[in-house]
Structure 1
Amino acid sequence: MHPGSQSYPDLSILPQRTPAARDEWVEARLMRHFMRNGRSALHAVSTVIPIFVAILWGDVDHVALACWALAAVMITAARYRVIHLYFREYSGAGGAQLRAFMSRYHWTWTVSAVIWGSSMFVFFRKAPLDDQFLCVITLAGMAGFAVGAFSASLRCFFDYINGLALSMLAAVAYTVIVDTPLIQGTTVSLVGLVLIYWVAIRSAGERFHRVQRSNLELQFSNATLIESLTEKTRAAVRAVETKNRFVASAAHDLRQPVHALGLYADWLQAEPELVVEITPKIVQSTRAVNELFNSLFDLAKLDSSTIELDWQQVDLPTLLTELELEYAPLAREKGLALRTRLVPAEVKSDRVLLKRLLGNLLSNAIRHTREGGVLLAVRHGADGPCIEVWDTGVGIAPEEHEAIFQEFYRVPHHNGTEEGFGLGLAIVSRLCEALQHRLSIRSRVEKGTVFRLDFPIALAAPGLDA
């Protein structure tokens, strides 16, 4: 329910997290892990480039080595730029944005792997065996390091490992077939080791990715559970506080008329000859007690969720005419004018509960109006018929619009009006929720208030242009 732009006080339940939301959260965390690890990997790569050059400088073609080193430096700089762009603009982005970001820049990891694997074109069968061994071990170490550094993004990991392995095999094949066409046992062993290592690293990376994803899904489930339990605990605490406040307020409001009844009974016992003067006061106190109990019973019935709705087509002019006849004496008693403005309209509702809802609004309007009057009107809005209750009363400040629907709440500084028990609008709130009608409020302090009741499921009277 929404009075105006304000919401009724409500203990909302934490919405269930969907699998899509969980996957989005997990993807975002995996991308963030990938980028953080990618920065560390780049620092390591930056130190390996000069080491590679230093090892091979005296044994291989300088031009070929310089070209490879330049390519390695350029792709490393490109990857630094991508990571810098991520931390500058995308570190707080969601899963969809991160996926789009990775789609644009994942090629840098593939190209980097191809360039490093292509280093074998420079040193394989050209450098001393010891240097070749060191370089191959370095490439193997980079592949192993990729399991922890890049497997958070399975696509980038596979592209990196595939690029590294295929470029190494291409270099071996080129050297054997074109450069020095001689197949040696060590070459066959090297190819076999590369293939085995390639499969093993892919498998390890895939398993590690699954472990990371499972851990993040578990974190998400735990965080959701903790959040849900925390919210339910807060809701329970608020419910206990509301109940305590409710009981305290009910006891306070009941004490006054009951105390008055006791005083009048003692007075009547002491001075029986004053029965004509005292009896109306006893009746008034008894009526106040009955009114409070009736309101409490209404609230208890509405909160128990056992109320059964009798949906039917309700003729609004007829209903409002009945309300006018019922509440006109109360308005005249206060010197107020109760008027109606009616147009033909029907709505789907429970007639008894709708009448009780409008009766509480009318009673509240009359109670808090010192002079002027109250208007009960049926109008046609953009979405169908609506009912408005206007008064020229004390008005309600915007900051009070939510609080007035709480049990036993009375707007402060309403001097000169009958306070009542503060349950009328609480019952209105419950009835609106039960009937699924929408209530809104407009008010100006010392000018008056308008309550408007809209019907989402509404039918205009036949032949009427709504």
Structure 2
Amino acid sequence: MRTQRNTQWIGLFLIPIFMGVLWAEAMRGLLLTWALFAVGAAATRLSIVQYYSREVAQRSTGEQVEFFRRRRLIWPVSALFWGLTTLLYFDRSSLADQFICWLILAGLAMYSINSLSSHLATMRAYLNTLAITALTVMGWRMAVELEFSGPPYHWWLVALLIIFWQVLRQAGLRLHVTHRKNFELQYRNNQLIESLTRQTQAALDAVEIKNRFLASAAHDIRQPVHALGLYADWLGSEPELVHELAPKIVESTKAVNQLFDSLFDLARLDSGKIKLNIDNVDLAQLLHDLEVQYRPLCEAKGLQFRVHVQPGVAVSDPILLQRIVGNLISNAVKYTQRGGILVASRVTPSGRRIEIWDTGVGIAPVHQREIFREFYKVPTHAGTEDGFGLGLYIVARLTHILGHPLALSSRPNKGTVFRVMLTPTDPQAAAARAVASVQQLLPGRLRAADLQSQDS
């Protein structure tokens, strides 16, 4: 449709030229009638093209196709009027005027394959209508009116017209194929540009994540390491304070170890080297092991630590599941200053689940999605200076990989509950999700792989 505007003006310009050539020899009434219909057809085509450019070009692909489908007959109708010009000049005017008229008709036919070859059906309809109409008029003149007594060059004209018609059809087909390859190449180039853009953005995102990682890690590790240095100097100068300083040194060492454990977990997740070992997990034993680990931390803060066990077995990775629940318990202990922690395994109509309840500071709705991002810390939360913003991010990644839906309910200053639904883990699906979680970090690499598979 975008190539048609110039074509319409050329068609309108040729009408007066054609009339000028035949004005002295053709029947003027018939010539004027033809000119009236030809101008009407050309004006209709021009109005369609202008309406398309003004109203339809910005619509959806389906609407554009439907608009063209309803109006595409105007092109073969225009070809019909131009084919009927043979009534005016074939064997009715001088050879010089016939030559000029045939030249105009041939030019229109050749120009049509350039302007219409993008849509093969329309181009063929135009050429077929033009050629068949001209051949029909010539056949009527030769067989009915002249009863095959006309000059021999009539047959040569018929033969040349048929050959020219078929040559134009083949040339139009080749041009259509060329157009299609060019559009496909343009589309593929756009895909490659999009892929490169995504890869560049992924690289920039990786740099940003790395910078945030270094800044956060440096900030979080500075305090416990600095404290370790101070305690060590203090202990060196006053060894009699060993009983007072030793617990503080242990706490600072635990903080450093916790940071490195989180960083190692994150590195394994992002590298895709996490190994899955799906097996039956005894929930009672799992919660007992976690109770042994975290009860002393709660009691040291003056918090109650309760465990409610509904015996049963879950199909999961025992190490990763323990890491998930452990991170949630550690998070609950960190942000609870009074009250206590409840860890429970329950049986529900939809299956088994583990719940971690706390009476801590809670999480406002505006932050409840953000807390699962890496290095995110809720502003104004007491205790965030001791956290690294990785625990819940790792929990979200691991629950997604294992296929254990994670739910959160929280009220500020009232407490929080995390629920891990223990849907049985399918090993193959979990492995696929582990690979996909890594690829999502680099969308450009995934897009490039898609393009490569399309090329193959």
- Checking the alignment, whether the CA contact within 8 Å between 1:295 and 1:424 is kept in structure 2 is yes
Structure 1 residue 367 corresponds to structure 2 residue 334: yes
Deviation at 1:408, TM superposition (A): 3.6
The C-alpha deviation readout for 1:300-330, integer Å capped at 9, x for no partner, is 3333322221112445566446545643443
Match in the other structure for 1:71: 37
Match in the other structure for 2:317: 350
User: 1:52 aligned to 10, 18, 29, which one?
Assistant: 18
| Counterparts in 2 of 1:338 and 1:117: CA distance versus 1, 3 Å | farther
| Counterparts in 2 of 1:162 and 1:229: CA distance versus 1, 3 Å | same
Query: What is the one-letter code of the residue matched to 1:43?
Result: W
When normalised by structure 2's length, the TM-score is: 0.82
Summarize the alignment of residues 277-356 of structure 1 with structure 2, pairs less than 5 Å apart.
277-314=244-281, 316=283, 319-320=286-287, 322-324=289-291, 326-339=293-306, 347-356=314-323
The C-alpha deviation readout for 1:3-34, integer Å capped at 9, x for no partner, is xxxxxxxxxxxxxxxxxxxxxxxxxxxxxxxx
- Checking the alignment, whether the CA contact within 8 Å between 2:86 and 2:137 is kept in structure 1 is yes
Match in the other structure for 1:16: none
Deviation at 1:271, TM superposition (A): 1.6
Structure 1 residue 43 corresponds to structure 2 residue 9: yes
**Residue 36 of structure 1 aligns to a residue in which SS?**
coil
User: 1:184 aligned to 151, 157, 167, which one?
Assistant: 151
Match in the other structure for 1:439: 406
How many aligned residue pairs are there?
425
Higher relative contact order (CA 8 A, sep 6+): 1
Match in the other structure for 1:116: 82
Match in the other structure for 1:221: 188
- Checking the alignment, whether the CA contact within 8 Å between 1:370 and 1:416 is kept in structure 2 is no
**Identity within the alignment, %:** 48
When normalised by structure 1's length, the TM-score is: 0.81
Structure 2: 5+ residue runs without aligned partners? 427-456
The C-alpha deviation readout for 1:93-146, integer Å capped at 9, x for no partner, is 555544444333222211211221112123322233333222221111101111
Which stretch has the larger CA shift, 399-408 or 231-240? 399-408
The C-alpha deviation readout for 1:78-102, integer Å capped at 9, x for no partner, is 3234324433443135555444443
Deviation at 1:198, TM superposition (A): 1.1
User: 1:151 aligned to 99, 117, 125, which one?
Assistant: 117
Match in the other structure for 1:463: none
- Checking the alignment, whether the CA contact within 8 Å between 2:334 and 2:383 is kept in structure 1 is no
Query: What is the one-letter code of the residue matched to 2:68?
Result: M
Which stretch has the larger CA shift, 168-177 or 212-221? 212-221
Match in the other structure for 1:26: none
Question: 2:294 & 2:8 partners in 1: Cα distance?
Answer: 81
Match in the other structure for 2:433: none
Match in the other structure for 1:133: 99
Question: 1:363 & 1:218 partners in 2: Cα distance?
Answer: 55
Structure 1 residue 105 corresponds to structure 2 residue 71: yes
Question: 1:89 & 1:315 partners in 2: Cα distance?
Answer: 67
- Checking the alignment, whether the CA contact within 8 Å between 1:369 and 1:417 is kept in structure 2 is no
| Counterparts in 2 of 1:367 and 1:204: CA distance versus 1, 3 Å | same
The alignment's C-alpha RMSD in Å is 3.0
User: 1:86 aligned to 49, 52, 58, which one?
Assistant: 52
Match in the other structure for 1:6: none
Question: 2:290 & 2:184 partners in 1: Cα distance?
Answer: 58
Summarize the alignment of residues 172-251 of structure 1 with structure 2, pairs less than 5 Å apart.
172-181=138-147, 182-251=149-218
Deviation at 1:216, TM superposition (A): 1.7
Summarize the alignment of residues 10-29 of structure 1 with structure 2, pairs less than 5 Å apart.
none
Match in the other structure for 1:396: 363
- Checking the alignment, whether the CA contact within 8 Å between 2:378 and 2:384 is kept in structure 1 is no
The C-alpha deviation readout for 1:26-52, integer Å capped at 9, x for no partner, is xxxxxxxxx011121112112222333
Query: What is the one-letter code of the residue matched to 2:266?
Result: L
